[in-house]
Amino acid sequence: MGAFGSSGQDLRRHIAVLGELAKARLRTRLHERLGLAFERDRTTGEWEVVGIPRALCALWSRRSRALRKAAGPGASAAKRRVVAARLAQSERGCRWDPVLLLDSWRREAELVVGDVDRMLADTAPGSPRSIAVPPTAAEVLARMRLPRRAAVRRKGVERREVLAAVIAAFPDSLRSLAHAQQICDQVLAQAFTQLPGRSLTSWVDTERYRVPKALVAASRQPVGWNDPTTPAAPILEGTADRTRQQDQAPAPSTWSRWRTAAGRRPRS
């Protein structure tokens, strides 16, 4: 008898679902306890707290600025992931004084918004101003965005990927994982076409579906790595990021190097 989930590989395939579930439940708790409201950022696609200026969010995004500076302008998503992992590794073991951090954040906030206490009172009134109504399956489908690679995959999209996208479409009203699975089943029944499953013996989600054309087109839209039209762009970019720009050709794949070594011209 083999190990459960192919030594954990099949379990890791659901990391995106767990991550989106944790963020969605956190948004729900913050809405219920502090009255926070959320709106989707048009550049990143993430849910942001209503009432916090974009300029202040950009000023507090030190990791984002460090990542942009280390990766360089025009960096691909793969390179950004590698650079982010290196930055996280370099910061391991660092200890931060929470009191000093709070003082620093407040001074920075006062430079941007002025009256910080009023901003906090407006942003977190302590109780919800309105009851959070869970979105319907049609509303979730209108907000959904799949990973671009999954949306255009010829063999279809897996149910776990659709479930992660469904959970990410909830602003502040997700009750439980069972609630998300129920909405996911409704979304799949309304817009997706199930493809023939695969015969596998491992613990893999074998349900695959054809993505509707409208969702493919929406998912192909790239998430903005830099939006110079927003007020936060000068803070995010800084002065050092604009001093040099290099056009780097993508590294050849392993298959292309092998064909070249074998005396064959790689297929373009």
Residue 253 has pLDDT above 70, yes or no: no
Please tell me the predicted confidence (pLDDT) of residue 165: 93
Q: Region 168-175: what's the mean pLDDT?
A: 91
Q: Is residue 266 part of a domain?
A: no
Higher pLDDT, 98 or 122: 122
Q: Name which of 35-49, 96-110, 247-261 the model is least confident about.
A: 247-261
Please tell me the predicted confidence (pLDDT) of residue 98: 78
Please tell me the predicted confidence (pLDDT) of residue 198: 60
- Residue 83 makes CB contacts below 8 A (sequence gap 6+) with 67, 70, 71, 75
Please tell me the predicted confidence (pLDDT) of residue 23: 94
Question: Are 84 and 193 members of one domain?
Answer: no
Residue 195 has pLDDT above 70, yes or no: yes
Question: Are 53 and 177 members of one domain?
Answer: no
Domain closes at, from 123, 158, 190:
123
State which amino acid sits at residue 45.
G
The pLDDT confidence band at residue 1, using thresholds 50, 70 and 90, is very low
Residue 31 in contact with residue 128, Cβ under 8 Å? yes
Question: Are 22 and 140 members of one domain?
Answer: yes
CB atoms within 10 A of CB 45: 13
Higher pLDDT, 260 or 20: 20
69 closest CA partner among 89, 85, 50, 83 = 83
Q: Which helix (H) or strand (E) holds 120?
A: helix 116-123
The single residue listed with the structure tokens 């969702």 is: 215
Residue 203 has pLDDT above 90, yes or no: no
Residue 171 has pLDDT above 80, yes or no: yes
Question: Are 139 and 110 members of one domain?
Answer: no
159 closest CA partner among 199, 200, 119, 187 = 187
Q: Region 89-99: what's the mean pLDDT?
A: 78
Domain closes at, from 123, 151, 172:
123
Question: Are 86 and 194 members of one domain?
Answer: no
> What is the count of structural domains for the chain?
2
Per residue in 123-168, pLDDT (tens digit) is 888 888 777 788 899 999 988 888 888 888 888 898 999 999 999 9
Residue 107 has pLDDT above 80, yes or no: yes
Q: Is residue 147 part of a domain?
A: yes
